[in-house]
Amino acid sequence: MKALILNNIVVDLNESEFPVSPEMSWADCDDTVKVGYTYSNGTFTAPETVEIPYSIARKNAYPSIGDQLDMIFRAGLGGDEFQAAIQEVKDAHPKPTE
């Protein structure tokens, strides 16, 4: 297996070499090497795993605000004013039928 290296980063893997830009080079590797590994002094190193902070992981896991509001509307839990305002928009802009 061959690793294509650009700026000390593996950018491609291939069974055989092919002509590349002078800024790139080929290095022999085994099948454990992946795109994104670094290459220095003949050694491949996997990228460090980055721990996503709790606050970001939790924020990204929530449904979108639009989906959350739609859940509230469909469950009828928004209160009379909320339900009426959303229904007015839905009536004015009905979902197309397919």
For the segment 78-87, what is each residue's pLDDT rounded down to a tens digit? 899 999 999 9
Residue 98: inside a domain: no
Percentage of the chain beyond pLDDT 90 is 82
Of 95, 14, 8, 73, give the one whose Cα is nearest residue 45. Answer: 8
Bridge partner list, 45: 38
Catalogue the E-assigned strands of 1-98: 2-6, 9-14, 24-28, 38-40, 43-45
Domain, as residue range, for 76:
56-92
Residues 37 and 72 in one domain: no
pLDDT of 57 above 90: no
Residue 24: inside a domain: yes
Q: Look at the block and give the residue holding tokens 């859940």.
A: 71
Residues 63 and 40 in one domain: no
Residues 63 and 85 in one domain: yes
Could you read off the pLDDT of 23-38 as tens digits, one per residue? 999 999 999 999 999 9
Report residue 54's pLDDT band, with 50, 70 and 90 as the boundaries.
confident
User: How many beta carbons lie within 10 A of that of residue 84, not counting itself?
Assistant: 10
Residue 79: inside a domain: yes
Residue 65: inside a domain: yes
- Total domains in the chain come to 2
Residues 9 and 40 in one domain: yes
Residue 26: inside a domain: yes
Residues 16 and 36 in one domain: yes
Residues 88 and 67 in one domain: yes
pLDDT of 20 above 90: yes
Catalogue the E-assigned strands of 31-87: 38-40, 43-45
